[in-house]
Amino acid sequence: MNELKKMSPGRFIALGFIAVILLGAFVLYLPISHNQDVDVAFMDALFTSTSAVCVTGLIAIDTYDTFNTFGQTVVALLIQVGGLGVTSVGVGVMLLARRKVDFKDRVLVKEALNLDSMRGIVKLIRAILLMTLFFEGIGAILSFLVFSQDYPLPRAIGISLFHSVASFNNAGFDNLGGFKSLLDYKDNVLLNLTTCGLIIFGGLGFVVIKEIIHKKSFKKLSLHAKVVILMSSGLLVVGTILLKFTEDISWLGAIFFSTSARTAGFSTYPIGNFTSAGLFVIMILMYIGASPGSTGGGIKTTTTFTLFKSAYAISTQKHCCAFKRKIPTALQMKAFILAFLAMALICLNTLLISIFEPQFSLMQVLFEVVSAFGTVGLSTGITPDLKPASEFIIILTMYIGRLGPLTIASLWSVKPLSSLRYSEEGITIG
């Protein structure tokens, strides 16, 4: 118990995610979660639980064909906990139970949501829970208008609730069966736009949504919120145009994929039929991902913005500024380190899986790894055929992608920085 009290917030959050993943895997492994005459290997249950908690959507077994109503409910709960964050859910339960939120809990929430201070954290958690309930409720109602036309009432309600939770939490799970995602609804404008709306708001970040609601003016927003809105809008537009011109899909399909590829993972067209150019565009979007403090993954929109601004500032010998504000040097360094660690992780895991799975092309394996890191869930169709060793690598990739490479790297920092200083000497660069 004393060790838990002394544990750093980062380690506590990392262990919290592991605990939820293992608990979810155990429940999904039990026969009580399965359809009749369906057996599930523990590795597949662990893969599903990790994908749900890390709000990814990659699946080795189909959710509807494998799990009964109880099992699908467990998957939806794991998605909800993973999207909101273990600490946010824990504090939310404490608030509902009218228990006092102590200093340690506030620190954990601050670390989990990447906040600058602990001021107003309890109010923020309340706002997060209300926003989640609002968006998922609206999404479920709009989705029901579509699914009720094709399914009986109880099944339509279940699909609508599941889809709304998965969409807002940027998890590409579906319970329609047959590994088909939303292929049958590629021309349904209402469902496409509803899903896109849920994904976008879920990917903006709760703090940004709260700012937009209260300040109601772009000029009054913080630098962080402005960058998030600018990057999210820009990536959506650029991604749509590139996908439309690289693939034989409708404009609605291009908008949907440009939105979904950022971290959600739903598909309305078979990814396996995409050209190499289209897959490359999607991989870039998956690598960038959503925004900090959101339900999505990737290196984040703000990191990408900082990388470009910093590179421009260095090459032109100017200060790194945006919206008449200077971006701190420490943040610029953090952005480069994060991008480097993410790329190193993707390259290493792509190499390992390519060794284990020589039957798949490099593009297929790379796409799968980037999708796992970005907690997206899009796949060219190779996930169900992966060997246990490759599944485990994807599991680790999803876990690191959800927590962030910097968070994982910081877990090993146990010794204080040495006071020893060395003399400087330059090396040739470039």
pLDDT in tens, 193-242: 999 999 998 888 888 888 888 887 888 899 999 999 999 999 999 999 99
Domain membership flag for residue 415:
no
User: What average pLDDT does the segment 299-320 reach?
Assistant: 91
What percent of the chain stands above pLDDT 90? 57
Domain membership flag for residue 361:
yes
User: What average pLDDT does the segment 410-430 reach?
Assistant: 67
User: What average pLDDT does the segment 316-334 reach?
Assistant: 89
Domain membership flag for residue 365:
yes
The pTM of the full predicted model, rounded to 2 decimals, is 0.89
Domain membership flag for residue 170:
yes
Residue 109 has pLDDT above 70, yes or no: no
Domain membership flag for residue 425:
no
Q: How many domains does the chain have?
A: 1
Burial (Cβ within 10 Å: 0-12, 13-18, ≥19) of residue 197: middle
Domain membership flag for residue 416:
no
Domain membership flag for residue 428:
no
Q: Which residues of 345-373 are buried (b: 16+ CB within 10 A; e: fewer)?
A: bbeebbebbbebbeebeeebbbbbbbbbb
CA-to-CA dists, residue 110 to 54, 193, 203, 301, angstroms: 19, 32, 18, 20
Residue 1 has pLDDT above 60, yes or no: no
Tokens 């908690």, located at residue: 53
* Those residues with Cβ within 8 angstroms of residue 272's Cβ, 6 or more apart along the chain or in another chain: 380, 381
| Contact (CB, 8 A) for 377 and 265 | yes
Residue 30 has pLDDT above 90, yes or no: yes
| Contact (CB, 8 A) for 162 and 173 | yes
Domain membership flag for residue 122:
yes
The domain containing residue 27 runs over which residues? 2-406
Residue 187 has pLDDT above 80, yes or no: yes
Q: What is the mean pLDDT of the chain?
A: 87
CA distance 103 to 118: 9
* 101 band by pLDDT with thresholds 50, 70 and 90: low
Residue 398 has pLDDT above 60, yes or no: yes
User: What average pLDDT does the segment 372-379 reach?
Assistant: 91
